[in-house]
Amino acid sequence: MNICHVNLASGFSGGERQTLQLIKQQVRQGYQLTVVMNPKSDLVNEVRKLGCKIVLATHFTKAHSKRVTQGCTLIHVHEGRAIYWALIQNLLHGIPYIITRRIDNPLKNRWLSKLAYKKASALVGLSREIVVRLQEFHPADKIYKIPSSPVSYPVDQNKVDQIWNQFRGKFIVIHAANILKHKGFDVTLSAAKILGIKNPRVQFLLLGDGPERENLEQQAHGLTNIRFMGKQSDMGSWFAAADLLVHPSYTEGLGSVILEAMTAGLPVIGSNAGGIPDIIEPDVSGLLCEAGNGKQLAQQIDQLENDKALCRKLQIGGKEKLKKFDIAYTASLYQDLYTQIASKSV
């Protein structure tokens, strides 16, 4: 099968890693792939290693021609602005396209965005919450739920030992994400303030950077149980060194970092928001706290620090839950969808 993937993001974050995961799996399955990408993204270097046909576009109005998608069954869109690239290519050359939506925000009420979603042959949401958002504007028979799959990272044991030595005797809790308002770092900070008194064994390490960092650092002034570690590239080592991952977002499309932590064998606490409940079944594959509730998050962290049996139970439950997010399974769901659209096009 010949598929054209489009992701025009300039960075290389969770969405781009998920795009890469699917591309790698499809290469293993013998797909012929064209990948349209932003030259500023590190995704380009990763895709080059796979032998795919690469098309570089700095904007959704760029790199349009019939030969780009010639022979392709369809275009698969993975990122917000890329919907317009697919729309233009469809209008010019009649290539059908599908959109994978990764965020649980309401759809934009703009004519061009509405047209791009309307013209798509199928819409995919990573979680039930995203599917609900899509159903507010589009017919149910056009919408599918296919989750993303976790990325596994290598572990540098020397790095792990360094972290353990630096925080010897501590119960290490990590919160890993871009430091944005909706990621709930203020909730983690609130929990840290409570546990600084109640359970000083707990050490919070915030992995990431972003516009909210400076304000949060000011609020954390004087606290010894919370550290801002900055953006990290060797996440495998951090997962291996940590005892727990927390992800108390206010909104979340799915929560790929939760899947990655579970893959690494960590127990997890997430908020009851967005697509996170698709991953975390309370007291089975993790713990859920209410969004914005720092007191509840602190109680749950304290509970896990003191209950090793519960930690082990959640680790086992997390491994079982991951079967529903395995890349071979999710890629097979996309293959079924591609085949269905191809038959309709014919």
Q: Residue 333: which H helix or E strand, with range?
A: helix 327-345
pLDDT tens digits, one per residue of 81-93: 999 999 999 999 9
CA distance 206 to 179: 9
pLDDT tens digits, one per residue of 142-175: 999 999 999 889 999 999 999 999 999 999 999 9
Quote the mean pLDDT of the chain.
Answer: 96
CA 98 to chain centre: 19
Question: Is the pLDDT reported for residue 4 higher than 70?
Answer: yes
Give the pLDDT of residue 233: 87
Give the pLDDT of residue 14: 85
CATH 3.40.50.2000, domain 157-324, yes or no: yes
**Class of the domain covering 2-149+326-345:** alpha beta
Tell me which residue of 294, 281, 210 sits closest to 246, measured CA to CA.
294
R_g of the chain computed on alpha carbons:
21
Torsion angles phi and psi, residue 61, rounded to 5: -90, -5
Look up the pTM and report it. 0.92
Mean pLDDT confidence for 2-17: 94
Question: Is the pLDDT reported for residue 261 higher than 80?
Answer: yes
pLDDT tens digits, one per residue of 295-334: 999 999 999 999 999 999 999 999 999 999 999 999 999 9
Tell me which residue of 46, 48, 52 sits closest to 5, measured CA to CA.
52
Give the pLDDT of residue 263: 96
Return the amino acid letter for 1: M
Confidence class for position 108, pLDDT limits 50, 70, 90? confident
CB-count burial class (<10 Å; 0-12, 13-18, 19+) for 255: buried
CA distance 185 to 200: 19
Q: Where in the chain is the domain with CATH 3.40.50.2000?
A: 2-149+326-345, 157-324
Mean pLDDT confidence for 27-47: 97
39: number of Cβ within 10 Å: 11
Question: Is the pLDDT reported for residue 344 higher than 90?
Answer: no
Confidence class for position 115, pLDDT limits 50, 70, 90? very high
CA distance 177 to 196: 22
Indicate the pairing of strand 268-271 with strand 287-289. Answer: parallel
Confidence class for position 346, pLDDT limits 50, 70, 90? low
Q: Which two tokens stand for residue 223?
A: 């606290």
Give the pLDDT of residue 142: 94
Q: Which two tokens stand for residue 267?
A: 């127990």
Question: Is the pLDDT reported for residue 106 higher than 90?
Answer: no
Give the pLDDT of residue 109: 86
pLDDT tens digits, one per residue of 169-197: 999 999 999 999 999 999 999 999 999 99
